[in-house]
Amino acid sequence: MTLSAEVTERVAPKKRRRDLARYLYIAPATLYVLMFAVVPMVRGVWLGFTDTKLTNPSGGRFIGLDNYTSLLGSEAFWNSIRTTILYTLVTVIGTLVLGTSAALALNRAFAGRALLRGLLTFPYAMPTIAAVLVFIWIYNPSSGLFNRVGRVLGIGEAGWLTDPEYGLASVLIATIWKVFPIVMLIVLAALQSVPEELREAARVDGADALSSFRGIVLPHIMPTLRIVALLMTIWSIRRFEIIYLLTGGGPVETTNTVVVSIYRRAFSDLDLSTAAALGVFGLLLSFIVTVAFFIIETRETRKEASS
Amino acid sequence: MTRVKRLPGIAARALVVGLFVIIAGLPVYWMVNTALSTDAELYRTGQDWWLHLERLVDIPGTLSTVPILKWMTNSAVIAAGTMTLSLILSVLAAYALSRFKFHGKGVVAFMLFATQMLPEALIVVPLFAIFVSLGLLNELYGLVLANTAFTMPVAVFILKAAIDKIPHETEEAARIDGCPRSSQLTMIILPLILPSIAAAAVINFFDGWNEFLFANTFIADAEKWPASVGLVSFIGQYGTPLATVMAAAVLFTIPAVVFFLVVQRQIVSGLTAGAVKG
């Protein structure tokens, strides 16, 4: 992704018409994204400066920065920021560790590997809604799988989705379960680029599995892991369905991420303008992460190029 | 001797793989298991650990008590519309991004990438206001329009990566043979990237199939619900047996999983290509 302007060729008048044709190819998609993503986004930012209610979505008057200042002064807002960061961090680390381990385990050819890979892909491939329905039942306090196993093993039971101590952990378990396979698939593809001779040489030199992973495999898949970390981060900040449908932001706001609170503000409190102002902060969060990623990425590629 | 030495390694690997199979498979197994249990088992005695496969014959009967087929038809209509619109827009855009230099190319590429970090929950609020004034609420094609803004960029990434792989000489040769520039996309490029188009089609279709947030917000009429919204409407409602709900969820899941497994390779390359090059 480059933001720098493309070097434009000096064009002879005859080529003009052909250049115009080039824009005809890109115009539909561009206009489309402008209409259905950029315009709503700008409108969202604007809504954040008004006092619009859901009951009258096109009414509402300009009130300046009031929504933003009242958000910045509210404990609930900072709680949702903290929750989002915590949810994102744990999801990114959890999916990267689980996904990479699964990829490493599947990286050797053995009978039935394709079958197992397919099986491990199931959580990611299934619709989120279906996964949510299953997890609600698994977490059911009286008849759910978790508490039944807990009773059998004698470690007792918990209100997985209702106890403030477990709410976020339960949502995280469901999330990591749902998402780790895509990390596995991407890392598995990256592992194909690790030269087998290198690993063989390390083995002959007597390197153990861990040091061969650190010395040979990890440097090769590092660029991929960085991309995956970015994807996982952006997706986690955006994620809505799993959290909203499992806990609705509760218990006691413990899973009330920015995105969940946007939706609750808009469609439960009918307060479109505060929701929009929250959305601006949510977008800012994604944007900071993306910019940070590209700074790290350019620095790393420069380092790799110079070494 | 090396074989003996490696045996513990193989055992360790088998153990790890086995562990992952349990982690990934258990909730899926439990979903099917629940669908094959009775309410008495589920809420009183506890469902059996093994599958009551003999009850599979009853599934069509239980499913006919809920409008899951109607909802899945709606899902299919939304998905097909999203897929078609996404593909038309993305083929043109991917071709332009791969083959042409033009002003604002970087901006367009960034805009497409940015849609992927835009929370739908943020967009849904102003979009709701816009849809109210345009009269698009409660219409399936309104959903198609909203979905496409987020699914189309993914297709662009996949198709651009595919077109990038075709050497420019292919088009040079075609031009010398008399193929005009304006038909190069349809005559030369499209036939060569058919596998990637198929992959993008499947991905966009199931983005539309799985979508919940827009549908839940924009569609009030239960007749027009897609299966995602329909299934969620069962949560916390005790009129429908849980086994029936799970059976419907399994039915809704099967096409998504089957098609994902078919195109997983392209999904992986599309995702990483999109993140690297935007």
Please give the residue of chain A at the shortest CA–CA distance from B75. Answer: A127
Please check whether residues B155 and B185 belong to one and the same domain: yes
pLDDT at B228 over 90: yes
Domain count, chain B: 2
What is residue B1's predicted lDDT score, i.e. its pLDDT?
Answer: 42
What is the share, in percent, of chain B residues with pLDDT greater than 70? 94
| Lowest-pLDDT range of A4-13, A255-264, A280-289 | A4-13
Q: Judge whether A42 lies within some domain.
A: no
Q: Is residue A3 part of a domain?
A: no
Q: Check CB contact of B136 with chain A, cutoff 8 Å.
A: no
Q: Whole-angstrom Cα distance, residue A247 to residue A170?
A: 9
Cα–Cα dist B249/B60, whole Å: 13
Last residue of a domain, one of B61, B78, B98: B61
Quickly state the pLDDT bin for A11 (edges 50, 70, 90).
very low
Q: How far is B181 from B166, CA to CA, in rounded Å?
A: 16
Best B122, B144, B217, B262 member to test A by mutation, with max A CBs in 10 Å, is B122
With contacts defined as CB-CB under 8 Å, which chain A residues touch B26?
145
Chain B residues in contact with A279 by the CB 8 A cut-off are: 119, 121-122, 125
For B234, the 3-state DSSP assignment is: coil
User: Is B234 found in the same domain as B121?
Assistant: yes
Which structural domain range is residue A238 located in? 62-306
CB pair distance less than 8 Å for A130 and B253: yes
Asked if B180 reaches chain A (Cβ–Cβ under 8 Å), the answer is: no
Q: Domain holding B242: CATH number?
A: 1.10.3720.10
Query: Chain A contact for B276, CB < 8 A?
Result: yes
A26 in a structural domain:
no
Nearest CB to A29 within list B90, B213, B268: B90
Type of residue numbered A38: V
User: Do both B53 and B164 map to the same domain?
Assistant: no
* Chains A & B: contacts with CB separation below 8 Å: 290
Q: Which two tokens stand for residue A113?
A: 């590997």
Task: Identify any residues that bridge with A62 across adjacent strands, giving them in sequence order.
Answer: A50
Q: What average pLDDT score do residues B262-270 get?
A: 75
**Which of A12-21, A108-117, B15-24 is most confident?**
B15-24
Query: Which pLDDT score is estimated for B270?
Result: 66
B140 vs chain A: nearest CA distance in angstroms? 16
DSSP 3-state assignment of B17? Answer: helix
**For the residues B76-105, what does the mean pLDDT come to?**
94
| Cβ neighbours of residue B185 closer than 8 Å, sequence gap 6 or more | A25, B91, B92, B95
Task: Tell me what the mean pLDDT of segment B105-126 comes to.
Answer: 85
Are the Cβ atoms of B24 and A122 closer than 8 angstroms?
yes
Q: Do B199 and B230 sit in the same domain of this protein? A: yes
Q: Do residues B160 and B193 share a domain?
A: yes
Q: Is A94 part of a structural domain of the chain?
A: yes
- Among chain B residues, CA nearest to A147: B46
* Residue type present at position A276: A
CA-CA distance, A153 to A183, in Å (whole number)? 32
Asked whether the beta carbons of A107 and A191 are under 8 A apart, the reply is yes
Is B125 within 8 Å of A19 when comparing Cβ atoms? no
Secondary structure of chain A in HEC code, one letter for each residue = CCCCCCCCCCCCHHHHHHHHHHHHHHHHHHHHHHHHHHHHHHHHHHHCCECCCCCCCCCCCECCCHHHHHHHCCHHHHHHHHHHHHHHHHHHHHHHHHHHHHHHHHCCCCCCHHHHHHHHHHHHHCCHHHHHHHHHHHCCCCCCHHHHHHHHHCCCCCCCCCCCCCHHHHHHHHHHHHHHHHHHHHHHHHHCCCCHHHHHHHHHCCCCHHHHHHHHHHHHHHHHHHHHHHHHHHHHHHCCHHHHHHHCCCCCCCCCCHHHHHHHHHHCCCCHHHHHHHHHHHHHHHHHHHHHHHHHHHHHHHHHHHC
Q: Which residues of B touch A281 (CB under 8 A)?
A: none
Residues B260 and B148 in one domain: yes
- Does residue B53 carry a pLDDT above 50? yes
Report how far residue B113's alpha carbon sits from residue B60's, in angstroms, rounded to the nearest whole number.
43
CB atoms within 10 A of CB A81: 18
pLDDT digits (tens, 9 = 90+) for B70-84: 999 999 999 999 999
Average pLDDT, chain B: 87
Among candidates A37, A186, A240 on the partner chain, residue whose Cβ is nearest the Cβ of B121: A240
Check A129 against B25: CB less than 8 A apart.
no
Phi-psi region of B113 (alpha: psi -120 to 50; beta: other; left: phi over 0): alpha
Distances (CA, A) of A40 to A36, A240, A279, B115, B151: 6, 19, 12, 12, 16
DSSP state of B188: I
Per-position DSSP letters for B99-158, written without gaps between them = H---TTHHHHHHHHHHHTTS-HHHHHHHHHHHHHHHT-TT-HHHHHHHHHHHHHHHHHHH
**Predicted confidence (pLDDT) at residue A4 exceeds the cutoff of 50:** no
- Higher pLDDT, residue B91 or B10: B91
Does residue B143 contact residue B214 with C-beta atoms inside 8 Å?
Answer: yes
Q: B16 and B74, same structural domain?
A: no
B56 touches A: beta carbon within 8 Å:
no
Taking a C-beta distance cutoff of 8 angstroms, is the pair B146, B267 a contact? Answer: no
- Do residues B254 and B272 both lie within one domain? yes
**B101 and B183 inside one domain:** yes
Q: For B229, which residue in chain A has the nearest alpha carbon?
A: A129
CB contact B106 to A (< 8 Å): yes
Q: Verify whether the Cβ–Cβ distance B30 to A267 is below 8 Å.
A: no
Nearest CA to A292 among A205, A229, A207, A204?
A229
Query: Is A20 inside any structural domain?
Result: no
**Chain A environment of B231 (Cβ under 8 Å):** 129-130, 133
Domain count across chain A: 1
Reduced to 3 states (helix: H, G, I; strand: E, B; else coil), residue B267 is: helix
Selecting from B106, B235, B277 the residue whose C-beta is nearest the C-beta of A136 gives B235
Distance from A175 to chain B by nearest Cα, in Å? 12
C-beta atoms of B261 and A118 within 8 A = yes
Q: CATH number of the domain that A300 lies in?
A: 1.10.3720.10
Token pair of B87 as six digits: 């593909």
Q: Which of B10, B22, B99, B125 to mutate to test the interface with A (most CBs of A within 10 A)?
A: B125
Q: What is the pLDDT of residue A31?
A: 95
Closest CA to A243 of A183, A170, A141: A170
Q: Residues 61..80 of B with a Cβ closer than 8 Å to A: which?
A: none
**Does B229 lie in the same domain as B144?**
yes
| Residues B118 and B165 grouped into a single domain | yes
ipTM higher than 0.90? no
- Please answer yes or no on whether B122 and A57 come within 8 Å at the CB atom: no
State residue B246's pLDDT score. Answer: 95
Q: Are residues B128 and B229 in the same domain?
A: yes
Last-in-domain residue among B61, B76, B110? B61
pLDDT in tens, A31-73: 999 999 999 888 888 889 998 888 877 777 889 899 999 999 9
B89: chain A residues, CB-CB within 8 Å: 28-29, 32
Amino acid at B173: A
Asked whether residue A277 carries a pLDDT value surpassing 50, the answer given is: yes
B216 touches chain A (CB under 8 A): no
Task: Copy the structure tokens of residue B30.
Answer: 């439990």
Give me the domain span that covers residue B261. 66-277
